Amino acid sequence: MLAHVTDMDPAELIISFGDLHLYSNYFLQAREQLSRATKELPRLILPRKDNINDYVFSDFVIEGYDPAPAIKAPIAV
């Protein structure tokens, strides 16, 4: 959205996780996730708008999203 409004092309997304942790009772689920083959990434299609506040939910279109089956895990307590 920022790239569109500023008339730039998006290049990369950098994410920094400040508090990422894995509980020991989720090790099996984490291993299952890591064992899965990667898939082609989906594409986010957005119209160009002049103002970031002009975007509405229906503007967002995701193409090619093919999720893997959910991995069940108990709620940590």
Q: What angle do CA 16, 65, 3 make, to 5 degrees?
A: 50
Q: Render pLDDT for 2-58 as a digit per residue (tens, 0 to 9).
A: 888 888 888 888 888 888 888 888 999 999 999 999 999 999 999 988 899 999 999
**Calpha distance 6→50 (Å, rounded):** 8
Asked whether residue 38 is assigned to any structural domain, the reply reads yes
List the domain range (segments joined by +) for residue 43. 2-63
77 pLDDT higher than 80: no
Residue 21 lies in a domain: yes
Rounded to 5°, the CA angle 9-14-20 comes to 155
Q: Considering only residues 76 and 24, tell me which one the structure prediction assigns the higher pLDDT.
A: 24
Whole-number pLDDT of residue 31: 96
User: Domain for residue 70, yes or no?
Assistant: no
Residue 66 confidence (pLDDT) above 80: yes
Q: How many domains does the chain have?
A: 1
Is residue 69, in this structure, part of any structural domain at all?
no
Q: Are 61 and 44 in contact (CB under 8 A)?
A: yes
Task: Please tell me the predicted confidence (pLDDT) of residue 20.
Answer: 83
Token pair 């108990």: residue: 74
Q: How many CA atoms lie within 13 A of 45 on its CB side?
A: 6
